[in-house]
């Protein structure tokens, strides 16, 4: 289940972030399609994506009580230009669509100034439908919920729960919609087992002659599990022609927190075993012992390290500046190199603010960071501080790895043993992905 989680303990009562002075209307993201040749996704998908799995009953007791409108507006102000969601994330699509439809957003951030990413195929925890009929139904509904005429990127959601042939069939239907209806621009696959993602990406290329544009992996490049960065991960996917590989759930769906996994209205959904959770608690106590929080160390390590580790299938799009109302180009920060792409999720304004401060500090440590800090009137030693912090976090990451022991690079079973798809063939009418009460 590809999803995101908060960096800090959930605090729905946190204050809203006040946006900067009303910015000018944002420029469109350059996109073109001529004779079947599309702008490379790697040139327009930014290296930091706002994930909205937190707009869901899994992570919060009442997602409708979250200031989702304020969060989305503030994220745009900080420079976020891509939002990831799914019909499986309960009311996430509706909440995101409503936030993007406010007069402020529509007048300042036109639809062509940001990217929308969603998914198809996963209906409930034990229901999957990759049939062409359901794909069409799901896409039409996502367009309505998100209040948009098109979707920039659509993933097949959690592909390990269905057969490889079903995934190929779904990808073919998504491409038909892309080519004949124009409501989809790019197509990808998502899931947890690294080996499955690699083998299915290779199968799609072999069977169709066209690679998938994107792969989203979750909880596989974290302090606890780094397999996405290995040869069987991003290198294999890049060799299969995948343009971008996004690293979602840098905290392992909330596992890597002092408080443990988040528990929302749906109860404890996390697949981690008691033994793995106990090992993570010991890692958290290790961080406490040196005056750090596990979630802060884990998030910084994942975001910062993936910038280079994920570069083989990364982004040359403008990085998210992390500064309200300030824009930067890829040439300004990093000297035009590719950045690995991460997906982050928050539940309140304070979490967003702290995540953006962390991201800004990470960018300060890159090539050109010192010059950019001086140009923008910030601390001239910001780059030095960032690089020192990186060394400290790397040292702590090594300590966490030692504490985790045999649980380092451990992956839970997905799907779980004994899983049976409860979806009936041809079951379309009256069905909805996510919680029943969240359907339109």
Helix ranges (H only) for 86-243 are: 92-100, 103-108, 132-146, 164-180, 194-208, 236-239
383 phi, psi to nearest 5 deg: -65, -40
User: What is the Cα 150 distance to its own chain's centre?
Assistant: 19
Cβ atoms within 10 Å of 395's Cβ, excluding its own: 12
Q: Count Cβ neighbours within 10 Å for each residue of 257-288 and write b for 16 or more, e otherwise.
A: bbebbbbbeeeebbbbeeebeebbeebbebbe
β-sheet bridge partners, residue 267:
264
Q: Containing H/E element for 247?
A: strand 244-248
Catalytic residue, candidates 89, 155, 161, 186? 89
Residues 224/255, Cβ–Cβ less than 8 Å: yes
CA pair distance 341, 41, nearest whole angstrom = 12
CA pair distance 309, 303, nearest whole angstrom = 10
Give the residue carrying structure tokens 């309960």.
90
89 is catalytic: yes
State whether the Cα torsion 170-309-41-344 is positive or negative. Answer: positive
Residues 84/4, Cβ–Cβ less than 8 Å: yes
Q: For the chain, how many residues are written?
A: 440
State whether the Cα torsion 285-287-290-296 is positive or negative. Answer: negative
Structure tokens at 343: 């997906």
432 phi, psi to nearest 5 deg: -145, 140
Give the residue carrying structure tokens 């359907």.
439
Closest Cα partner for 92 from 8, 156, 3? Answer: 3
Residue numbers annotated as active site: 89
């Amino acid at each position: 289940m590809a999803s995101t989680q908060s960096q800090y303990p959930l605090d729905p009562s946190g204050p809203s972030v006040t946006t900067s002075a009303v910015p000018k209307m944002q420029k469109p993201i350059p996109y073109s399609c001529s004779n079947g040749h599309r702008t490379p996704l790697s040139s327009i998908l930014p290296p930091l994506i706002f994930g909205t799995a937190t707009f869901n009953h899994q992570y919060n007791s009442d997602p409708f009580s979250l200031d989702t409108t304020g969060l989305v507006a503030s994220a745009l102000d900080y420079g976020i230009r891509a939002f990831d969601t799914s019909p499986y994330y309960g009311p996430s699509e509706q909440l995101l669509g409503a936030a993007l439809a406010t007069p402020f957003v529509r007048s300042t951030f036109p639809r062509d100034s940001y990217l929308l990413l969603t998914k198809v195929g996963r209906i409930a925890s034990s229901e999957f439908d990759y049939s062409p009929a359901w794909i069409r139904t799901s896409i039409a509904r996502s367009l309505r919920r998100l209040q948009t005429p098109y979707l920039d990127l659509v993933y097949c959601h959690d592909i390990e729960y269905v057969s490889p042939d079903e995934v190929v069939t779904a990808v073919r239907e998504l491409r038909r919609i892309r080519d004949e209806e124009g409501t989809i621009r790019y197509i990808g696959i998502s899931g947890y087992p690294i080996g499955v993602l690699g083998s299915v990406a290779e199968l799609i290329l072999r069977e169709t002659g066209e690679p998938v544009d994107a792969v989203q992996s979750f909880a596989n490049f974290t302090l606890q599990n780094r397999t996405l960065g290995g040869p069987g991960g991003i290198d294999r996917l890049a060799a299969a022609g995948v343009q971008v590989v996004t690293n979602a759930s840098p905290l392992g769906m909330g596992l890597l927190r002092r408080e443990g996994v988040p528990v929302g209205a749906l109860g404890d959904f996390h697949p981690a075993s008691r033994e793995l959770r106990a090992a993570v608690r010991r890692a958290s106590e290790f961080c406490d012992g040196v005056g750090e929080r596990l979630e802060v160390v884990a998030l910084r390590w994942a975001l910062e390290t993936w910038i280079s580790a994920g570069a083989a299938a990364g982004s040359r799009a403008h990085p998210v500046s992390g500064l309200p109302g300030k824009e930067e180009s890829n040439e300004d920060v990093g000297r035009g190199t590719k950045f690995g792409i991460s997906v982050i999720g928050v539940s309140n304004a304070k979490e967003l603010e702290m995540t953006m401060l962390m991201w800004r500090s990470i960018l300060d440590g890159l090539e050109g960071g010192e010059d950019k800090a001086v140009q923008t009137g910030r601390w001239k030693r910001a780059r030095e501080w960032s690089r020192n912090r990186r060394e400290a976090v790397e040292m702590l990451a090594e300590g966490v790895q030692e504490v985790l022991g045999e649980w380092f690079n451990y992956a839970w079973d997905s799907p779980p043993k004994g899983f049976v798809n409860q979806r009936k063939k041809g079951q379309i009418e009256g069905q909805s992905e996510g919680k029943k009460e969240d359907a339109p």
